[in-house]
Structure 1
């Protein structure tokens, strides 16, 4: 048999295995006959492939006699892949494209407790702000990226964090959050899909930020652009469209396939 034929055969088997995995991902458990029908293969060959997938731990026998379900081995492999995802590495090309288009500083931030930590920053061309450099942090109620992170926490966690931010013993004593005003602002952020910071960190500097979501729709980071106020707020419609599109693209790179952002009070 020629090498090309062998390669084609291997790819065909992988394709069939992938079809079985997809079918079981869509339906919690199926019999060998049900899987054969779902993937359009003879029951005999489907059963042989199921035996191989079971040996690998990718498919397990289901509690229902004669049925199969996704295996723990496949789930642990998926968890390892998810844990190894480098959000910063995936984000950098999108950040560079955003800076080129917006001509503003671009930041990527992660949440750490009650603060947002800058993990990547690309400078704009008009002004260099020292307020948020790499490894610097801000409280979650100050700045566009921090606000985007806070706004897109699950509702219960978000409320608890807002209460903590209002406690001067847990955050900066000279800058506690106003619970009512912050709660209203977070609702507005979820409604419009991005956060706005208008000189609340540095005089003359404004920023817009949007969440980055993973394949489960969970917020994992926030992307923001910042620059002179007149270049951000005076062009807010255009700039917000750029940053939300870039954040959505990074989310897509992470496997998120839904609408960007988490709207409503349950987000």
Structure 2
């Protein structure tokens, strides 16, 4: 029997008969958690997902039973559970590119004194699957495996978008526009400039647009099966100035992408102009 508090979800299911709406909503609950939202109440989950509070509470309770979430003793806040770690380990262990990339990423991090990341898309974000930092300095962004970067204003996301076929890229940009709402006018200009930059130079940049006072550049990397990833390198803006990124970091990152592509049987999208 259809639930009385979920007419909008039933409509979605009717439009997409090949999906299971209850599973979609459960995954939506899990996606609410990130570095800034480690503990969430049912009310907060309902606000973030748009799912009615009674339904989101049932979904969260089911996820607790399955081990994917936990609930604070005597309280109402939910957290991610150990079940997600097991799935993440299986996923990461299957990414052979990490093992190939890690030593080369670490070498670049040491050479330029900045953090080097490898990321894959997840919804409208990029998720880090490998992170290397120079041992000689603490002046790097403290992102790690599993951290997320917004696609619209991070260099990683912009490099990923650049590598997509034009129709797919524009469809995803439209999804970003709808998702970011009133923030979109302040984001679109930087995104379009970065895509033009990639077409001319082969890399995208982000100057303080994702993390304040952090500048970085990214290069797309296409795997042997056509999967699109992105490599990133950068650090504090007062060290990684525009000339440093252009003259020192970007050439090293592009060369890293080319070497990795050769190692894994992939490719690097060339500049288009």
TM-score greater than 0.5 by the shorter chain: yes
5+ residue gaps in structure 1? Answer: 1-83
In structure 2, C-alpha distance between the alignment counterparts of 1:129 and 1:154, rounded to whole Å: 31
In structure 1, C-alpha distance between the alignment counterparts of 2:208 and 2:156, rounded to whole Å: 14
1:136 has 2:147 as partner? yes
Aligned residue runs from structure 1 range 1-267, under 5 A: 86-124=96-134, 125-130=137-142, 132-167=143-178, 170-171=179-180, 173=181, 175-176=183-184, 178-179=187-188, 182-215=191-224, 218=226, 220-232=228-240, 233-236=242-245, 237-256=247-266, 260-264=268-272
Q: Would you say the 8 A contact 1:115–1:146 is kept in 2?
A: yes
Alignment root-mean-square deviation, CA? 2.5
Distance 1:180 1:163, change over 3 A: farther
Deviation at 1:113, TM superposition (A): 2.0
Q: Would you say the 8 A contact 2:234–2:249 is kept in 1?
A: no
Tell me the secondary structure at the aligned position of residue 127 of structure 1: coil
Q: What is the TM-score with the length of structure 2 in the denominator?
A: 0.58
Q: Flag the structure with larger Rg.
A: 1
In structure 2, C-alpha distance between the alignment counterparts of 1:200 and 1:231, rounded to whole Å: 16
Tell me the secondary structure at the aligned position of residue 234 of structure 1: helix
In structure 2, C-alpha distance between the alignment counterparts of 1:219 and 1:180, rounded to whole Å: 27
Tell me the secondary structure at the aligned position of residue 110 of structure 1: strand
In structure 1, C-alpha distance between the alignment counterparts of 2:197 and 2:243, rounded to whole Å: 19
In structure 1, C-alpha distance between the alignment counterparts of 2:95 and 2:176, rounded to whole Å: 30
Tell me the secondary structure at the aligned position of residue 159 of structure 1: helix
Deviations 1:70-103 (A, max 9, x none): xxxxxxxxxxxxxx66121221121111112111
In structure 2, C-alpha distance between the alignment counterparts of 1:215 and 1:134, rounded to whole Å: 22
Aligned length: 176
Structure 1 residue runs of 4 or more that deviate by more than 4 Å after TM superposition: 177-181
Q: What is the TM-score with the length of structure 1 in the denominator?
A: 0.59
In structure 1, C-alpha distance between the alignment counterparts of 2:155 and 2:190, rounded to whole Å: 16
In structure 2, C-alpha distance between the alignment counterparts of 1:128 and 1:223, rounded to whole Å: 16
In structure 1, C-alpha distance between the alignment counterparts of 2:121 and 2:269, rounded to whole Å: 16
Deviations 1:142-187 (A, max 9, x none): 22112111111111100001111111xx24x563365465334313
